[in-house]
Amino acid sequence: MGCKGVQVEEIWSLDPEFTADLGHVYGLIFLFKWQNNKGYAPPADDNADHVFFANQVINNACATQAILSILLNIDSDDVELGEELKNFKEFTANFPPDIKGLAISNSELIRSVHNSFARSDPFVNETVDPNAGKDQDVYHFIAFTPIHGALYELDGLSKGPVNLGPCNDTNWVEKANEAIRKRMDSYGSSALHFSLMALIKDKIEQMEEMIEETDGILLSLSEDDVEARNKANQDRIMYNQVLQQELEKRKKWHRENVLRKHNFIPIIYNLLRNLAEKDQLDPLVAKAKDKAKNR
């Protein structure tokens, strides 16, 4: 969306030993199985005009909206929103939440980026069952982020932003952890339908800054200070390894997104048809069935 300086990282725990390596965390995105009968309806903060909050007005957009809820509330020179998101934030600043939500749905930039991650759906069912999908699980994304000394829960399906109490830069993740655990506990100990992601400072930029800083330290050290130079060189090697891992991760992300969007049905269909024409399909199916039975 034109924003620079951040990335999303999936995380498995908010305990300090796990979050230390994340660097600066701007917000958390929590995924859970949505249940309308849970009775969780905390009061919205009526004095939160300083918070960018938008109601969700379109289906299946809660993940994108959770990311925007964090991005458009970041007050940091380290994050460059980009011209279009910056203009969007300024244009909608005085809109009520429902109109902000409509503005998100009408943004060509946001819509095109959101749709670019959609899975390929090669099948069109012309005899759609009107009752289909009613028993399917529905999942929802919400955001947690610190804003002006308070921790906020930002859920597009709520009436407004929920103030979870005062916080600072060092303890807000711990407070968010408490709120998330409380939400998870309400589902019972057997529920596993949760996921958590963090919007953090771009790790590539982090490592490049650390390498540059270490190079400066090495230049300032005398040749006689062997111990300090060895320590700095070891740190530089470690930072460079993390940098290369992140660069490789970006390549994998790109490939995964290309594969997810690609329609493989034509090649699969033609492969099966050619095998059938050569009388090779039935033996392969029989072999696969035997293999499955033995397994």
Return per-residue pLDDT of the chain as tens, 295 residues.
Answer: 889 999 999 988 878 777 777 888 999 999 988 776 455 667 888 788 899 999 998 887 888 999 999 999 998 787 899 999 999 999 999 999 999 999 999 999 998 888 887 766 665 444 434 444 555 678 899 999 999 999 999 999 888 999 999 999 888 999 999 999 888 887 776 667 889 999 999 999 999 999 999 999 999 999 899 999 999 999 999 999 999 999 999 999 889 888 888 888 899 999 999 999 999 999 999 999 999 999 8
Q: Directed axis angle between helix 108-115 and helix 97-106, to 10°?
A: 60
The domain at 6-201 falls in which architecture? 3-Layer(aba) Sandwich (3.40)
Under 8 Å between Cβ of 101 and 23: no
- Which amino acid belongs to residue 153? E
Return the domain boundaries, the chain: 6-201, 204-261, 265-294
Following DSSP, what letter does each residue of 119-184 receive, concatenated? PP-----SS--TTTTTTS--EEEEEEEEETTEEEEE-TTSSS-EEEEE--TTTHHHHHHHHHHHHH
Q: What is the pTM of this model?
A: 0.80
| β strands within the chain, DSSP E | 6-11, 25-33, 139-147, 150-154, 162-166, 194-201
* Active-site residue list: 62, 140
Nearest 5°: the CA angle 6, 165, 91 is 50
Question: If you count them, how many residues does the chain have?
Answer: 295
Q: What is the dihedral of CA 255, 260, 261, 265, to 10 degrees?
A: 120
